[in-house]
Amino acid sequence: MLSIIVAISKNYCIGNGGRIPWKIPGEQKRFKELTTGNTVIMGRRTFAEIGHPLPNRKTVLVSNTYTWNDENCVTVGSFEEALRVSDPLHNEVYVAGGAGIYRAALPYADRLYITFVDIEVDGDTFFPRFDKYGFEQVECTCFDGEIPYRYVTYERRPASPDEA
Ligand SMILES: NC(=O)c1ccc[n+]([C@@H]2O[C@H](COP(=O)([O-])OP(=O)(O)OC[C@H]3O[C@@H](n4cnc5c(N)ncnc54)[C@H](OP(=O)(O)O)[C@@H]3O)[C@@H](O)[C@H]2O)c1
């Protein structure tokens, strides 16, 4: 099972200057709950924002310029290699960004966990527009607050017989 996990503003922004451009108490709760005990693939800039491998998870860092290898983290040079070492056939593997990694993962993703954050923000990093019709929405939970957000889960629709 390969899953994308991301928080997106109304204008599809995910980052600005190496940071997530909003701070909403509780908004990242689902990230921790879902990814704990599983494998998380991320690019070098996303890893740099966190600063270290995620506790209680296996981190697969994609980079050709920086390396961090220890018992909880392995560095690979491409998204395809990240998939090979993550073994999504036997684990739930979460793709946690940034933009290039999401783009590479979208054709393979079985599930999308998207937090839609109800603001427009300035930024320099954006989630790729994707074919929503290829996915079925299976969950939507709304949260009120100064900046409302909603947790939405999509699952890939089976290919039609014509496409198979
Ligand atoms: N809102 C969210 O849910 C969310 C999630 C994640 C990140 N973010 C934000 O997004 C921004 C970071 O994302 P980003 O797109 O700028 O950077 P990124 O994907 O985290 O890192 C980019 C680097 O990762 C490596 N990389 C990425 N794709 C690769 C590929 N297909 N093959 C080989 N290497 C690859 C390269 O490292 P080397 O140059 O070292 O080779 C590349 O320079 C930050 O602002 C962060 O806060 C937001």
**Where are the chain's structural domains?**
2-156
Low-confidence ranges of the chain (pLDDT < 70): 88-90, 161-164
Among protein residues, the one whose CA lies closest to atom 7 of ligand 1: 98
Name the helix (H) or strand (E) containing 128: none
Which one is the CATH code of 2-156: 3.40.50.12370, 3.40.50.150, 3.40.430.10, 3.20.20.140?
A: 3.40.430.10
Q: Model-level pTM?
A: 0.95
Q: Which residue's CA is the nearest one to ligand 1's atom 37?
A: 63
Q: Give the mutation target among 101, 108, 116 for probing the ligand 1 site: most ligand atoms within 8 A of CB.
A: 101
Residue with CA at minimum distance from ligand 1 atom 11: 15
Question: What confidence score (pLDDT) does residue 39 get?
Answer: 96
Q: How far apart are CA 86 and CA 159, in angstroms?
A: 24
Q: Which atom of ligand 1 is nearest to the CA of 5?
A: 3
- 26, with CB counted inside 10 A (0-12, 13-18, 19+), is exposed
Backbone angles phi, psi at 99, to 5 degrees: -60, -45
Q: What is the pLDDT of residue 164?
A: 57
When computed from its CA atoms, the radius of gyration of the chain, rounded to whole angstroms, is 16
- For position 93, what pLDDT does the model report? 96
The pLDDT, as a whole number, for residue 144 is 97
pLDDT at 74: 97
Q: Which atom of ligand 1 is nearest to the CA of 42?
A: 20
Quick one: how many helices (H) and strands (E) in the chain? 4, 10
Ligand 1 mean position, distance from CA 63 (Å): 9
